[in-house]
Structure formats: C-alpha cells, structure tokens
C-alpha cells in the first residue's frame, strides 16, 4: 500500500541528501549525495571500487596511494580537485575500472552530465558485464529522462551483481528511486525499493526515506495498490515455462522473466496470472504502455469479476497517462492580446485611466492584486493593472464563474498600449468578447501554445472558481447553532461548482476515455469500465466530502449501478483499497476498524477513512486516542461552521482527558469564529491564546496564518500592541471585529495585505 501523496506533483523536490534539480537541457539532473560520492575504505583486501568483484590487492594494488589521495579530497569536499586528479590518472592508467567508476561519480556530483554520460558509456564499453558500469549507465540514462533504458540497464546490473558489488549498487539504486519517482514511473521506483529491502534489509531509515520519496511524487489512486506476482495452477502444458519465468522474476531477473511470460501469450491468453505478471513486470521495467495493455487484457477475460475488471482498467488508464502525460484532449493555458485604442484627444495615462474606470464599473470585472516586483525581477515590464473577468454579472444569489485574468499594459518603447487575456483556452475564448466590448478592442488569435501548461478536462472542471454576490450590508452575526452568512455563500459556491460539473462532465471528451465523452463511452463495454473506474476513484479519494458526494451523484446520472456494500472480516487482507469505502464498517471488530481508518487515511482513500471514523465514534469501547483522530478527520471534512464547532467542542473534552495542548484547537476555532463573524468569541480566543500559548511557536505560526487569511495587518497590529497598556489581544480584537476585517465572510471586495496579495478566507475546503 502506498502512503498518501499529492497527485501529479512533478516539481523540483529535495529529499534528504538526494535532491533532484532540472538541468539546463531540460532533463532531470542529480546533485551529489552519499550514494554518488561514498567515502572509499582503502584496504587492499576490500572490494575494488570499480565493481570488478575482485579485491584491490588483485585488481588495482598499484593505485592504492592514488585512491587514498582521492579519498582525502572527497572527504574534504574538494570534489573539483578530485575530478581533475582522477582525469589525470585516467590518462596515465587507461582502462582501469576503479578510475572510470570514480570519474563518472564525480562528474555526476559536479553536475557535468554530458561528461558523465560519455564517461559512463566508455566504462560500459570497456566492461560490459560490470554491474557498477551498468548501474552508472542506468543513472546517466535516468538523468537524461530515458527511464526505460535506465530500467533495463539496472536490471542487467542486478543480475550481474555479486556480494562484493551489492553495497555500491544499492547506492546507485537509491538515486534511481528518486529519479523514477520524480519522472512519474512509480512501478519502477517501487520495484527498486523492494529490491533494496531484500538485499540490504538492515538500513530501515534509508528505506523509509526512499518510500517517502516515492509517495511524495504523487501516486495515482489506481496505482496505490501493490500488485504481487501470481502463481498459476493446473496441469496446462505451458506451466513449466510459466514457472521458469516466475522463478526469474522472483530472483530479480526481470527482463528474462518478462520475455518468458511474453512467449506464452499465444498459448495462455486466458490466464489471469499470466497477464498480471506481464503487467507487474512491465511496471517495474518502466514500460507503462505495455503494462496498460496487459491490464486491459486481464479486464477483458470472461471470468474476470466486475470489480476486478474495473480496477484493472483504472490501473491501465493511470499507466497510459504515465506513458503520455499530455495525451489529447487536454485543456491548455492560453493567452490572447489586443492593442488598446487611445481615444482622440487623449494621451498617456489619462486614456488608460478612462479604460480602467470603465472596467471598474462593469460588474463582470473586478480588480486583482499582483506583485510588480516579480515582473521586474525577470526584466519584464509589469502591467498597469490586472483584472478578473467573470462569465456573468452576479445577480441575486447567482454565482459568476471566473474566466480569465485581464492584464492592461501601458505604452512601451516598442509597442502600443495593450490588453492581454490569460487563462485556460475555452475560458479565454468566452472572456474575449466580454473584454472586447468593455475595452472597445479586438483580441487576436491565441498565441503559440507550445510550452504552455495544460490540465485534463476533468481537473479543469473541478478547478472552476465562482464569485458569489455578497449582501450590500453586513448581515447580523449568526446565532449559536445557526448557519452564518459565510456558510450560505460557501454552500452557494459549492452548488455552482458541482451543478456545472454534473451538467458538463458527461458530455466532455476525456483523454482517459480515448477522446470519447462519458456518455458516449457507456455504449461500449471496455470504455464503460473506464468511466466506472474514473467515478470510483473520485468517490474513494476525493479530498472534500462534497466532491465525493458529487461523484456518487454522477454515478446515478450516468446510469451506473450503485456500488454494492462489502462485508469482510479482515478487509486489509481481503479487499482492495479502492473498495474500502463500500465496507460495512459496523460489522468490523475494533482492531480491524482502526486498521482501516489509519491505513485509508495514510493512503489517501478519504471516503473510507471518513466512514471508519464515524464508525469508531459510534463504538463505546473506542479509546480516547481513536476518538481524537476520528474527530480530527471529520472536522477537516465538515462543510459547515456549525458542524465544525460541534466537533471542536468534543475535541476539547478529549484534550482534557488526554492532557493534550489545546492551542491548535483554539486556532482552528478562531478561524471558524472569524468566518462566522463571532466577534466576542474571537476576542476571547485571542486573549486565551495570548495568555496560555504565547510561547508556543507552533501555535503562534498557525495563528499568524489565520490572521493573514483574515486580512489583518500584522505589522500594524504589532505597533498597536507596543502602545502603553495595550495587550496583543486588545489590539487584535478591533481588527478582527472591524468592518474591514468583517469582510472575511464575503468573497466580494478586495482585502489586500501589505504585499498586495489578496487575503481572504474564501475557497471551500
């Protein structure tokens, strides 16, 4: 089971001592770490550092002094000097494995990736069966983004390794794990971690670090279940060949195993274990497209259970995306520009002032804060102003969907004043006539989309933003137990988001459905399983409760059968994770229920974790610790401030029982109270935080974030607190309860902090 991870994260990451960065050529590069630059133990009876499998005494005894000198340079962090030295030695002693291996390591360590690739290739040409040469070649291929080649080379390296070369190869493997994880090849990364666990079981801390690296790369929900290799039963004539291939796989001869299983396709095409093993091996060898084809073949088997077929199809869809992240159709970020016409008789900024005043008075536009320094830092002329363009003007209780950003630029040396619309392509196309009618200009064709970010149609729909119409006057504070104005606005926004999603998604072409819409895909059995896999994943893993509910409603709208409840005595062993939300939680004993809750929460199966939390709270025998964790999850997923406050009250009672610090509860409640406009309670909480948690840095950091979200000017607050006789709580209270801060509850209007960034508690979450 995979730990929880943020899906789709391919950003630069730094994990422990093995960070990845993007190289100038667009590939992924490795920085030096303990695996690339290990301290050499210079002992004549130690293994040769070149991976020959011989002792130094019988391999490179004449270089012991030189190797010791290199060791001292590396130990003293004089890597460049060590590299110069090893290059000189390589010219004097050509073809020596220890020097070639060290040279490649040092070139990788100093980010000379082209040189490292050349050195690695020369090393491999000279010693084609050397496991370290094969492993280093795998690293240089991974740096260049050639993950399939890297996986094949590392598989050969494992097969060629001896007891003497295993420790060095484990260091290479650790580098490959991070490279594979960051490039999205989850099966290969996890397979390497499993191999490290088998051959080097003593280093538990490093294995946990590597597992965290894989998890943090963003594991798709369909791939969070580790699929084991399967045995085949019966007396079929092809079974001996099957068992031979399986033996190769279990001894990490993966390429040989895959070749053996492939040869059986014609005679064992109806075998579930065959297709499972082909798919698993292809994932471990970074062959996502072939793995996808194998999972689809398994899903089409006549004896495949419906749930198994749907989950195999979902796994195939995720691997198709791994093979081609930008497959069509996608929604690309777009930019369209227009030259602004300066009215006759108007010059300079006066004309633009008039245009901006027109924008300001159009209800479909609102000003947006932006950071001018970020533009200046990259030597770009900043815009005069930035505006948000909405699809419609807000009416009574109606949501206006945000379409695009409109940037207004003043006249520059080489160009006339212009306006630029930016956003996702379909939204920019909708926004263009709106902005054109306001500004009296005509927007040109979309700029070249090459290199522009893109997202899937589903994520585009799920990311829709809406502006609600705020009341013209501040409503009265909500009474205890009543929904606040903020709750009402947030519910309206959720209704707008999910109403549009449920209406548009069924008729939207999706890459996961090979360009078909969900409604079209339901006409074909194979494509229909793809639809059900998408819906099931949404139900099981949506971070927000309203999102999970929307996916369940989508199931009904598309005519998919309701998901049947599942009864199991040992669900962690018997039921795949994507089905945990269907478990009959009431029939589980306490230990099993606790296991489902903890594991589902860690692995990102939010719906199952929520249901398990509710079931735990219903058990009188549940421990206070179980109740504390369960209530914490439910508070996070609660949609209304009333429910959040009810849960926080229960948590306070448990905090007393567990003798836990209640400072973070105070901060959480303060956020809710300020959203509701509960001024008296906000003041009380601020005073309590000052008095009881004024030295708790974790609490103070969380409090700072809440106040910044609320638009409180912390620098001004500090000045007020410095006044004679003024406490921080007294200084904060007027700010929290003032008309300016009172705008927290409404998304309308600007609440710009000192840096110009908008500070509002707005996005539902």
Averaged over 717-726, what is the pLDDT? 51
Q: From CA 254, how far away is CA 166, in angstroms rounded?
A: 17
126 and 210 housed in the same domain: yes
Q: Rounded to the nearest 5°, which phi and psi values hold at 454?
A: -140, 160
The percent of residues above 70 in pLDDT, for the chain, comes to: 85
Alpha helices in 448-589 (DSSP H): 457-462, 485-504, 518-521, 525-541, 545-557, 571-574
CATH number of the domain enclosing 138: 1.25.40
Domain endpoint, select from 323, 348, 366 = 323
206 and 252 housed in the same domain: no
Q: 364 lies in which domain range?
A: 331-449
Band of residue 215 on the pLDDT scale cut at 50, 70, 90: confident
Residue 233 is assigned to a structural domain of this protein: no
251-271: pLDDT as tens digits: 999 999 999 999 999 999 999
Dihedral, CA of residue 540, residue 541, residue 544 and residue 545, to nearest 10 = 10
589-644: pLDDT as tens digits: 999 999 999 999 999 999 999 999 999 999 999 999 999 999 999 999 999 999 99
Q: Mean pLDDT lowest for which of 141-145, 164-168, 182-186, 426-430? A: 164-168
Q: From CA 515, how far away is CA 329, in angstroms rounded?
A: 6
Which 8-state DSSP code applies to residue 47?
Answer: B
Band of residue 713 on the pLDDT scale cut at 50, 70, 90: low
Residue 601 is assigned to a structural domain of this protein: yes
Q: How distant is the alpha carbon of residue 130 from its chain centre?
A: 37
Domain endpoint, select from 385, 416, 449 = 449
Q: From CA 40, how far away is CA 171, in angstroms rounded?
A: 13
Residue 647 is assigned to a structural domain of this protein: yes
Q: Mean pLDDT lowest for which of 45-54, 114-123, 462-471, 569-578? A: 45-54
Based on the structure, what is the number of domains in the chain?
6
Position with higher pLDDT, 30 vs 147: 147
Position with higher pLDDT, 543 vs 31: 543
Q: From CA 368, how far away is CA 465, in angstroms rounded?
A: 14
Q: From CA 764, how far away is CA 462, in angstroms rounded?
A: 12
543 and 597 housed in the same domain: no
Instruction: Of 416, 422, 5, give the one whose Cα is nearest residue 218.
Output: 5
Amino acid 67: pLDDT: 78
431-490: pLDDT as tens digits: 999 999 999 999 998 877 677 889 999 999 999 999 877 776 777 778 888 898 889 889
Q: Show Cβ contacts of residue 374 under 8 Å, excluding neighbours closer than 6 positions.
A: none
Q: From CA 598, how far away is CA 630, in angstroms rounded?
A: 9
As a whole number, the mean pLDDT across the chain is: 84
276-329: pLDDT as tens digits: 999 999 999 999 999 999 999 999 999 999 999 999 999 999 999 999 988 889
Q: Both tokens of residue 529?
A: 């399983």
599 and 721 housed in the same domain: no
Note the maximum CA span of the chain. 94
Q: From CA 744, how far away is CA 761, in angstroms rounded?
A: 6
Q: Rounded to the nearest 5°, which phi and psi values hold at 238?
A: -90, 0
Q: Which residue has the tokens 């590069």?
A: 29
65 and 192 housed in the same domain: yes
Residue 667 is assigned to a structural domain of this protein: no
301 and 338 housed in the same domain: no
- Terminal-residue alpha carbon distance, the chain: 26
485 and 550 housed in the same domain: yes
265 and 310 housed in the same domain: yes
106 and 210 housed in the same domain: yes
Instruction: Of 123, 120, 127, 135, give the one whose Cα is nearest residue 174.
Output: 135
Instruction: Of 555, 549, 665, 558, give the one whose Cα is nearest residue 611.
Output: 549
Position with higher pLDDT, 492 vs 4: 492
62-99: pLDDT as tens digits: 677 777 777 788 777 778 888 888 888 888 888 888 88
Q: Which residue has the tokens 């045995």?
A: 231
Q: From CA 648, how far away is CA 443, in angstroms rounded?
A: 52
172 and 295 housed in the same domain: no
Q: From CA 739, how far away is CA 717, in angstroms rounded?
A: 16
Instruction: Of 431, 411, 413, 412, give the one whose Cα is nearest residue 421.
Output: 431
Amino acid 734: pLDDT: 46
Q: Which residues pair with 386 in a beta bridge?
A: 368, 407
Residue 12 is assigned to a structural domain of this protein: no
Domain endpoint, select from 630, 660, 690 = 660
| Three-state helix/strand/coil letters over 404-441 | EEEEEECCECCECCEEEEEEEHHHHHHHHHHHHHHHCC
Amino acid 343: pLDDT: 60
User: Quick check: helix, strand or coil at residue 26?
Assistant: coil
Q: What's the whole-model pTM score?
A: 0.84
Q: Both tokens of residue 221?
A: 């929900």
CATH number of the domain enclosing 244: 1.25.40.10
Amino acid 99: pLDDT: 86
Q: Which residues pair with 389 in a beta bridge?
A: 365, 404
Amino acid 760: pLDDT: 33
Amino acid 262: pLDDT: 97
Residue 669 is assigned to a structural domain of this protein: no
64 and 108 housed in the same domain: yes
Kind and range of the H or E run holding 401: strand 399-409
Which 8-state DSSP code applies to residue 522?
Answer: T
Averaged over 118-141, what is the pLDDT? 93
48 and 155 housed in the same domain: yes
Residue 179: pLDDT above 60? yes
444 exposure class (CB count in 10 Å sphere: 0-12, 13-18, 19+) = exposed
Amino acid 29: pLDDT: 34
Q: From CA 458, how far away is CA 535, in angstroms rounded?
A: 11
Band of residue 45 on the pLDDT scale cut at 50, 70, 90: low
Cβ 224 vs Cβ 2: under 8 Å:
yes
Which 8-state DSSP code applies to residue 368?
Answer: E
Residue 148 is assigned to a structural domain of this protein: yes
Q: From CA 520, how far away is CA 681, in angstroms rounded?
A: 54
Residue 515 is assigned to a structural domain of this protein: yes
Q: From CA 603, how far away is CA 211, in angstroms rounded?
A: 12
């Amino acid at each position: 089971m995979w730990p929880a991870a943020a899906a789709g994260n391919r950003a630069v990451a730094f994990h422990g001592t093995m960070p990845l960065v993007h190289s100038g050529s667009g590939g992924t590069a490795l920085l030096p770490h303990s695996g690339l630059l290990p301290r050499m133990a210079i002992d004549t009876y130690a293994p040769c550092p070149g991976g020959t499998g011989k002792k130094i005494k019988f391999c490179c005894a004449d270089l012991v002094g030189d190797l010791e000198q290199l060791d001292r340079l590396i130990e003293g962090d004089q890597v460049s000097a060590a590299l110069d030295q090893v290059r000189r030695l390589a010219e004097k002693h050509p073809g020596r494995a220890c020097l070639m291996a060290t040279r490649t390591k040092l070139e990788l360590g100093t980010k000379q990736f082209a040189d490292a690739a050349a050195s690695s290739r020369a090393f491999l040409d000279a010693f084609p069966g050397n496991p370290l040469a094969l492993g280093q070649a795998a690293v240089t291929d991974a740096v260049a983004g050639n993950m399939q080649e890297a996986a094949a080379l590392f598989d050969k390296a494992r097969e060629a390794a001896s007891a003497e070369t295993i420790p060095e190869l484990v260091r290479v493997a650790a580098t490959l794990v991070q490279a594979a994880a960051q490039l999205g090849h989850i099966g290969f990364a996890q397979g390497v971690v499993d191999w490290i666990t088998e051959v080097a079981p003593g280093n538990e801390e490093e294995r946990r670090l590597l597992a965290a690296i894989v998890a943090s790369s963003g594991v798709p929900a369909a791939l969070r279940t580790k699929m084991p290799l399967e045995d085949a039963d019966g007396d079929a004539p092809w079974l001996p060949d099957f068992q031979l291939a399986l033996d190769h796989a279990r001894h990490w001869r993966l390429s040989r195993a895959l070749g053996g299983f492939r040869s059986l396709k014609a005679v064992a095409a109806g075998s579930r274990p065959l297709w499972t093993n082909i798919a698993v091996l292809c994932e471990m060898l970074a062959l996502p497209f072939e793995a996808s084809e194998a999972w689809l073949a398994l899903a089409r088997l006549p004896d495949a259970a419906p749930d198994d077929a749907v989950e195999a199809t979902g796994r195939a869809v995720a691997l198709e995306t791994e093979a081609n992240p930008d497959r069509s159709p996608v929604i690309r970020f777009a930019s369209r520009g227009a030259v602004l016409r300066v009215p006759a008789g108007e010059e300079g900024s006066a004309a633009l002032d008039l245009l901006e005043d027109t924008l300001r008075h159009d209800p479909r536009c609102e000003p947006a804060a932006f950071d001018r320094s970020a533009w200046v830092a990259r030597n770009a002329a900043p815009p005069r102003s930035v505006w948000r363009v909405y699809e419609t003007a807000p009416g009574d209780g109606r949501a206006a969907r945000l379409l695009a950003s409109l940037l207004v630029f003043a006249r520059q040396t080489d160009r006339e004043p212009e306006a630029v619309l930016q956003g996702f392509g379909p939204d920019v196309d909708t926004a263009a006539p709106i902005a054109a009618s306001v500004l009296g200009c005509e927007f040109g064709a979309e700029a070249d989309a090459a290199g522009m970010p893109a997202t899937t149609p589903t994520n585009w729909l799920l990311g829709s933003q809406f502006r609600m119409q705020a009341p013209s006057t501040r409503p009265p504070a909500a009474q205890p137990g009543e929904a606040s104005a903020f709750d009402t606005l947030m519910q309206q926004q959720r209704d707008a988001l999910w109403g549009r999603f449920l209406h548009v998604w069924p008729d939207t072409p999706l890459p996961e459905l090979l360009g078909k819409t969900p409604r079209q895909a339901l006409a074909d059995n194979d494509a229909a399983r793809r639809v059900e896999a998408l819906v099931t994943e949404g139900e099981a893993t949506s971070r927000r409760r309203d999102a999970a509910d929307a996916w369940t409603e989508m199931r009904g709208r598309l005519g998919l059968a309701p998901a049947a409840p599942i009864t199991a005595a040992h669900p962690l062993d018997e039921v795949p994770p994507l089905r945990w939300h269907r478990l009959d939680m009431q029939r589980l004993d306490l230990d099993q229920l606790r296991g489902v809750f903890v594991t589902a929460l860690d692995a990102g199966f939010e719906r199952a974790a929520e249901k398990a939390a509710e079931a735990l709270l219903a058990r009188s025998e549940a421990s206070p610790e179980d109740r504390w964790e369960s209530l914490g999850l439910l508070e996070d997923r609660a949609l209304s401030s009333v429910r959040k406050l009810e849960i926080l009250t229960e948590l306070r009672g448990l905090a007393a029982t567990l003798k836990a610090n209640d400072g973070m509860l105070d901060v959480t409640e303060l956020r809710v109270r300020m959203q509701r406009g509960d001024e008296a309670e906000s003041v009380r909480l601020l005073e309590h935080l000052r008095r009881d948690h004024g030295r708790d840095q974790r609490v103070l950091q969380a409090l700072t974030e809440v106040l910044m979200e609320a638009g409180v000017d912390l620098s001004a607050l500090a000045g007020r607190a410095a006044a004679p006789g003024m406490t921080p709580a007294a200084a904060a209270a007027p700010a929290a309860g003032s008309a300016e801060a009172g705008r927290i509850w409404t998304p309308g209007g600007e609440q710009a902090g000192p840096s110009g960034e908008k500070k509002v508690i707005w996005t539902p979450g």
